[in-house]
Amino acid sequence: MSEREKMLAGELYDASDEELVALRLQARLMTEKLNLTSIQFSEQRQDLITSLFGATGSTLHVESPFHCDYGRHIHVGDNFYANFGCVILDVALVTIGDDCLIGPQVGIYTATHPVEPIARKQGREFAQPITIGDNCWIGGHAVINPGVTLGNNVVVASGAVVTRSFGHNVVIGGNPAQVIKQVPLSS
């Protein structure tokens, strides 16, 4: 397996692999261009985001600055909004559903490192995908950790650190995040 195939399979891989370095450089150059493109040029910004992400729905808006590792592993649905300072470490697939709002300074991190110090010292890494359902709102400064799945209609309180998965229709918050209440579904 190539290092990229290992990475996408969730296995330990070498992030200094030439192919991965080149792909990260390509994404960083695109995000740099996005972050330097004036908001007056919304169509150009839209084209950059669409080219950077692996898949997009209709109507997406990403405020600058925005940062990611590869871009191509980010898949977002219709009506996606990411506020200022969003960081998505998309070493594994990040799937975000329709009608999702990402607050300022949110971190979505698929990348992780071994707990075992020798493997970590050798520069080994691995990743776990993140899935966020439809109609979710992630408050400012929240962190979504590797391997998390959030169901539909989930609200993540500002500053929450999400270390495990949650089902549909809940408000979660705290460190580590826990259910605060159920989301009332209007008729």
CB 151 within 8 A of CB 168: yes
What would you measure as the largest C-alpha separation in the chain, in angstroms? 55
- The C-alpha angle with vertex 153 and arms to 149 and 157, in degrees rounded to 5, equals 80
Where would I find the H helices in the chain? Answer: 3-8, 18-36, 42-52, 117-121
3-state secondary structure (DSSP) of residue 51:
helix
Q: Which residues are catalytic?
A: 113
CA distance 76 to 19: 25
